Structure 1
Amino acid sequence: MEKLEALKISSMRPRTNILDRPLAKGKTEVSQSIVALLFSEIVQYCQSRVYTVPELQTKLHEMGQDVGTRVIDIYFVRERSSKRETKLTQMLLFVKTTLWKNLFGKEAEKLEHANEDERTYYIIEKDPLVNAFISVPKDKGSLNCANFTAGIVEAVLTHCGFPCKVTAHWHKGTTYMVKFEDYVIARDKQLEDK
């Protein structure tokens, strides 16, 4: 009889799983050495499946897109009750601040708008965590592992309704060039006029 009562009580309590807990709750710091080890394994995995540096950067970008898709779904479902930004500037600020803090523990240094092209924005990060513990051989000197982060940003923006292409470049540390589709800019201008 006691076993039956215990079984009833335990089945009445809702079970919480780690995926149901809010991101803001719990331990928010992760050991940098663990992140470095995991990311170096990702780079080695990608490197074993490609032959050139551009192919490696593309593979890292694709893996980053998978991460970005999952991160944005988790964030908006858990933290924001599925409410997403509708204005481009607000979405870019969300990426620069909130997303960067959740992923890397700090904000990106700068967000800039290109003078010559209204579709292009730059997110500047002086020392990306993904490049911090990677030693690049001389034969792969142009490798920028921040293409992984570029993939994350591209997936986040695209899945939030701001289709774009994001690339990582060596400039002022690492600069992520975000180039939006034409209709994203036109739609944003219409929203501002209302």
Structure 2
Amino acid sequence: MQYSQPQNPRMSVLSTTSLASDHFSPASSSTRFSLPVGAPINIPAKQGNKPQIYDRNLNKTRTAEVSLSAYAFLFAEIVRYTQMRVSGIGDLERRLNVLGYRIGTRVLELMSWRAEAGTKAPKREIRFRAALMSVHSQVWRAVFAKPADAIEKSVDSDDEYMIIDNDPPITRYISVPKDMEQLSCSSLTAGIVEAVFDGLGFPARVSAHSTPTDAYPSRTTILIKLDKSVLEREESSK
């Protein structure tokens, strides 16, 4: 008996040779057309857009902490990336300082915004020593999750102050080779401090120096050399 080619979507399972023939037996036709249909594919519904980091409340992240391992890995990669593009130790420290300055401007902006949002009468420091104490405690805690260890004033110059950090978290896992022992990777921290003082209205030149001791081999001194205008303003406001 001759059968016409059926119009059925299951025809897609037939082989090429079977499709080429217009004569099918009832048995073979029934067998071929009785193949089970594959299980339906469940396509999940499209989810809405996830909130971006810019949509997060800045006050809710005030006490958030960053993994120290991630922090150290990121800084180590910054140092390695920068080291491959400089000609000497001085150039490397300068680039780290510039990067730290960019971070410091954002740190000051964030801290100022939180201070204004958290109180009806935000306070702005107009004396240098009060601003220095703020950097020693609040800025250090915001960036490194701990205050600095000490503040010192130079006995030789009235325009020099020092912030001491016995164990800087930023350089805890940085190994400086012997031929670069003069390098201080805390130049990034010096850039942060310089940006904060500039933003507060106390222009200064800030540099980082390694001052290791037997008890604290990673001890670092952040040297702050104030601009002459700051000293004159401090004298006039006494």
Q: Same fold (TM over 0.5)?
A: yes
Q: Cα–Cα, structure 1 residues 108 and 183, in superposed 2: closer, same or farther, change >3 Å?
A: same
| Helix, strand or coil at the partner of 1:77 | helix
Give the aligned residue type for 2:105.
T
Question: Deviation per CA, 1:39-87, whole angstroms, max 9, x where unpaired?
Answer: 0111112112112111111110110000001110111022245642111
Give the aligned residue type for 2:206.
V
Give the aligned residue type for 1:21.
L
Note if contact 1:76-1:84 (Cα within 8 Å) is conserved in structure 2: no
Q: How many residues are matched?
A: 175
Instruction: Give the aligned partner of residue 120 of structure 1.
Output: 160
Instruction: Give the aligned partner of residue 21 of structure 1.
Output: 58
1:77 equivalent to 2:120? Answer no
Note if contact 2:205-2:226 (Cα within 8 Å) is conserved in structure 1: yes
1:33 equivalent to 2:60? Answer no
Q: TM (normalized to structure 2)?
A: 0.69
Note if contact 1:150-1:166 (Cα within 8 Å) is conserved in structure 2: yes
Identical pairs, percent: 37
| Helix, strand or coil at the partner of 2:225 | strand
Alignment of 1:28-177 (within 5 A): 28-80=64-116, 83-172=123-212, 173-177=219-223
CA distance in 1, matches of 2:168, 2:78: 16
Q: Cα–Cα, structure 1 residues 87 and 26, in superposed 2: closer, same or farther, change >3 Å?
A: closer
Q: CA deviation at 1:27?
A: 4.5
Give the aligned residue type for 1:161.
G
Note if contact 1:76-1:83 (Cα within 8 Å) is conserved in structure 2: no
Q: Cα–Cα, structure 1 residues 170 and 185, in superposed 2: closer, same or farther, change >3 Å?
A: same
Question: Deviation per CA, 1:66-120, whole angstroms, max 9, x where unpaired?
Answer: 0001110111022245642111000000000000011111110101111121111
| Helix, strand or coil at the partner of 2:221 | strand
Runs of 4+ in 1 over 4 A off after TM superposition: none
CA distance in 1, matches of 2:211, 2:79: 22
Q: Cα–Cα, structure 1 residues 78 and 147, in superposed 2: closer, same or farther, change >3 Å?
A: same
Q: CA deviation at 1:139?
A: 2.2
Q: Which has the higher helix share?
A: 1
Instruction: Give the aligned partner of residue 187 of structure 1.
Output: 233
RMSD over aligned CA atoms reads: 1.7
Q: TM (normalized to structure 1)?
A: 0.84
Larger-gyration structure (1/2): 2
> Structure 1: which 5+ residue stretches go unaligned?
1-15
> Structure 2: which 5+ residue stretches go unaligned?
1-53, 213-218
Give the aligned residue type for 1:17.
D
Q: CA deviation at 1:29?
A: 1.9
Note if contact 1:22-1:79 (Cα within 8 Å) is conserved in structure 2: no
Question: Deviation per CA, 1:16-48, whole angstroms, max 9, x where unpaired?
Answer: 822x4226x554222110000110111112112
